[in-house]
Homo-oligomer: A and B are copies of this chain.
Amino acid sequence: MNILIIGGGGVVGQKLAQALVKSGMLRGQAITRITLADVVDPAPVAAPFEIRTMICDIADPASVAECVSKDTDVIYLLAAIVSAHAEEDFDAGMKINLFGTYNVLERCRALGTSPVVVFTSSIAVYGGEAQDPLGDHSFPNPQTSYGMQKAAGELFINDYSRKGFIDGRAFRLPTISVRPGKPNRAASSFMSSILREPLNGQEAVCPVDADFLHYYLSPRRCVDNLIKGAELAGDDIGQNRVMQMPGTSLSIKQLIDAMTAVAGPEPAKLIRWDAQPDIKKIVSGWRWDIHADKAERLGLKADDSFEDNIRYYLEDDKPAA
């Protein structure tokens, strides 16, 4: 079992690799190699089998051809230009999120090996005139270019799977929180930083109101779901290979209350409330009344409570003092 993680240098890619190493198996077979590919050389992970790291620019078909090979069994396609960045730089978003996805799928088609492809879409596909409640059967009317590019990627995954070019499955990720590391250019970045920075003893800015509702999943549970997602049999998924990954709808206040319940009252005092119209404009187009019926039926899971999300951060990610 030969696994390629494109976007293997990112937070989810690294955690996924670690979880795969820990399990040693995927789809009932022993893992023999994991390749971590990213636009900057990804950090390797320790493993009792071969770990390769390589630079891959999915906007370049030749670069894609170097990392997707005849013996690649499972591809995780996690690489993306995130929301605020793709909104600001339309060309970059198209190049990576749309044509990059196309290049990976075209490489699979050219090889004729029909690998399993796990594509991470996003709840950013919902928006505009799509009617609540949202889920697997909603019309995608994204209000960001990032969401549009992800929705187009979903269409590719379905059609390439239908044609037998790949055995694809796409999951609309909830916003991942608590995300470790530094803020990024995702408009949702604050949804982790208002917890992460205070838990690390640092100040953070909350650009929206306390009653702002959103749909969340912990990195740990997201990785569990991505592994389960690769293991699903194509026939069990059906004609629509795209589904919502389970998450939980919560207000900013509920996130902070969970932090206080786990870590005491001090971290919440480090949050500075400072409305930011640019961020608000993007995220207010996002939606939260989201349901993941199909994925839940197939065994994927949301977190049990946001207290878990806080605990996972403290256990897995909090930097040593």
Contacts and interface: CB of A to CB of B under 8 A. Distances in A.
A129 to B, nearest CB: 4
Interface in A122-138: 127-131, 136-138
Interface string A196-238: 0000000000000000000000000000000000000000001
A190 to B, nearest CB: 23
Contact of A148 (B137, B139, B143, B158): B158
Contacts of A159: 142, 145, 148
Interface stretch (A25-33, A45-53, A149-157): A149-157
24 contacts: A128-B238, A128-B240, A129-B136, A129-B238, A129-B239, A129-B240, A131-B137, A137-B139, A139-B240, A140-B155, A141-B158, A141-B239, A142-B155, A142-B159, A143-B239, A145-B163, A148-B155, A148-B156, A148-B158, A151-B155, A152-B152, A152-B155, A152-B156, A155-B155
Contacts of A156: 148, 152
Chain A interface residue count: which class? 20 to 34
Interface string A141-185: 111010010011001101100110000000000000000000000
A241 to B, nearest CB: 9
A24 to B, nearest CB: 34
A273 interface: no
Interface of A: 90, 109, 127-131, 136-143, 145, 148, 151-152, 155-156, 158-159, 162-163, 238-240
A241 B128 CA distance: 10
Contacts of A240: 128-129, 139, 141
Contacts of A136: 129, 139
A148 to B, nearest CB: 4
Contacts of A109: 90
A136 B138 CA distance: 10
A290 to B, nearest CB: 14
Identify the interface centre among A142, A145, A155, A239: most chain B CB within 10 Å of its CB.
A155
Contacts of A145: 159, 163
A141 to B, nearest CB: 5
Contacts of A163: 90, 145
Contacts of A90: 109, 163
Nearest to A294: B129
A239 B287 CA distance: 15
A94 B144 CA distance: 24
Cβ-closest 4 pairs across A and B? A128-B239, A148-B159, A129-B240, A152-B152
